[in-house]
Amino acid sequence: MSEKTEVDLTGAKQNTGVWLVKVPKYLAQQWAKASGKGEVGKLNIEKKQGKADVSFTLNEDLTSLSALGEKAASVRAPGTIQ
């Protein structure tokens, strides 16, 4: 896929947690095709009935980066955190 890099969290709020998220395979494949700079998508988190409703919307430029014979990537990936 891609080489491992360090993430600089300098300046991040000290009182916030870090989420470990399992990313669907098709999203990981699309992210691997990204240029390395720029936006890959937007994360939306809403509180509904005591649960966090999480959705990720893939950047439309990345949805069109499918190989010949592959389906275009889905734009929206829903999820729920309890």
15 falls within a domain: no
Buried-exposed string 44-61: b where 16+ CB fall within 10 A, e elsewhere: eeeeeeeeeebebebbee
pTM for the model: 0.50
Look at residue 75 in the predicted model and tell me its pLDDT. Answer: 55
Give the total number of structural domains in the chain: 1
**Residue 2 predicted with pLDDT over 70:** no
Q: Select from 46, 9, 17, 42 the least CA-distant residue to 27.
A: 42
Distance in angstroms (rounded) separating the CA atoms of residues 62 and 72: 9
| Domain membership of residue 36 as a residue range | 25-81
Q: CA 31, 34, 37, 42 torsion: positive or negative?
A: negative
12 falls within a domain: no
What mean pLDDT is predicted for residues 51-55?
80
The band of 15, judged by pLDDT with boundaries at 50, 70 and 90, is: low
Per-residue pLDDT of 61-81, as tens digits, reads 777 755 544 554 555 555 655
Question: What value does the mean pLDDT of the chain take?
Answer: 70
54 falls within a domain: yes
